């Protein structure tokens, strides 16, 4: 089997055609909101109600969208590879659950999940699809006022980094899909893969910020490019 262990990193571009805004593109979320106000711990401490409202709005938007052909194709690739004794790691920077809803068996959410709430005081984590408010109590420790979205903000450390580097270092193909290559540490995965001698490819609408770091590239819509690549991989694998 070629590329028995595939590591896939996804970003906002994989969910764009499902109707979720990307971050840095024109009209993206960050052209409309100040990053430091809604996606940093300082912003949250200064104005928790505003930050919770921003994520309530995003959570509601996420609930109304469906996975697209790219999510579905990646779910199929992961399933087929597992059946044939290989492994596909899907590591996403996205806080939506469209990979899971598109059929992925397991997903590493390095920037958290918007459909979960976390207690700022005790770290208690629970699925939560309603609106968060500053006067909510924590089901675990009972304290009030610390319930926040389970989303990694700027200045905070991404999640599952040990697991990620382990999967990355044992992969024999690294594929980056729909990410601008601007936010570290995810933007550094391609260099880590290259340093380990692993072939790298990006699939993106246009060359990303670190396009020159990839061995191969396919440019176009994720909903078209990803299913085409997956079909080729499955055909080659036989």
Task: Give the catalytic positions in this structure.
Answer: 111
Tally Cβ neighbours within 10 Å of residue 84. 13
Stretch that binds Zn ion, among 66-74, 112-120, 172-180, 208-216 (CB under 5 A): 112-120
CA 22 to chain centre: 11
**Residue that the structure tokens 């009972």 belong to:** 142
Does the protein bind ligand NAD through residue 17 (CB under 6 A)?
Answer: yes
Is 20 labelled as part of a ligand binding site? yes
Output the six-digit token pair for 172. Answer: 């024999």
Does the protein bind ligand NAD through residue 204 (CB under 6 A)?
Answer: yes
| Residues 111, 121 contacting (CB under 8 angstroms) | no
Positions 125 through 154 that interact with Zn ion (CB under 5 A): 138, 140-141
Is 9 labelled as part of a ligand binding site? no
The listed partner (Zn ion, ligand NAD, none) that binds 11, CB under 5 to 8 Å by sort, is: ligand NAD
The listed partner (Zn ion, ligand NAD, none) that binds 101, CB under 5 to 8 Å by sort, is: none
Does the protein bind ligand NAD through residue 16 (CB under 6 A)?
Answer: yes
Query: Taking Cα atoms as reference points, which of 141, 155, 126 lies closest to residue 44?
Result: 155
The listed partner (Zn ion, ligand NAD, none) that binds 94, CB under 5 to 8 Å by sort, is: ligand NAD
Q: Specify binding-site residues for NAD(+).
A: 11-30, 93-96, 178-180, 204-206, 222
Contact residues for ligand NAD, defined by CB under 6 A: 11-13, 16-17, 22-25, 28, 30, 35, 39, 93-94, 111, 151-153, 178-180, 182-183, 204-206, 208, 221-222
């Amino acid at each position: 089997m070629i590329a028995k262990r595939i590591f896939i990193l996804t970003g906002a571009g994989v969910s764009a055609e499902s109707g979720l805004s990307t971050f840095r593109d024109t009209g993206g979320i960050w052209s409309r909101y100040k990053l430091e106000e809604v996606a940093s711990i300082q912003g949250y401490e200064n104005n928790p109600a505003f930050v919770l409202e921003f994520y309530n709005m995003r959570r509601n938007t996420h609930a109304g969208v469906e996975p697209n052909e790219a999510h579905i194709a990646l779910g199929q690739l992961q399933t087929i590879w597992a059946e044939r004794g290989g492994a596909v790691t899907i590591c996403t920077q996205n806080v939506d659950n469209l990979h899971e809803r598109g059929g992925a068996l397991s997903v590493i959410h390095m920037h958290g999940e918007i459909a979960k709430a976390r207690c700022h005081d005790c770290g208690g984590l629970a699925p939560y699809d309603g609106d968060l408010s500053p006067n909510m109590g924590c089901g675990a420790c009972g304290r009030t006022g610390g319930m926040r979205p389970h989303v990694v903000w700027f200045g905070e450390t991404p999640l599952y980094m040990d697991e990620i580097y382990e999967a990355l270092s044992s992969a024999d193909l690294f594929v980056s899909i729909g990410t601008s290559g601007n936010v570290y540490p995810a933007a550094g995965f391609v260099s880590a893969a290259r340093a380990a001698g692993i072939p790298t490819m990006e699939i993106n609408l246009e060359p990303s910020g670190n396009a020159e770091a990839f061995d191969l590239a396919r440019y176009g819509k994720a909903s078209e490019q990803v299913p085409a690549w997956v079909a080729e991989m499955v055909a080659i694998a036989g």
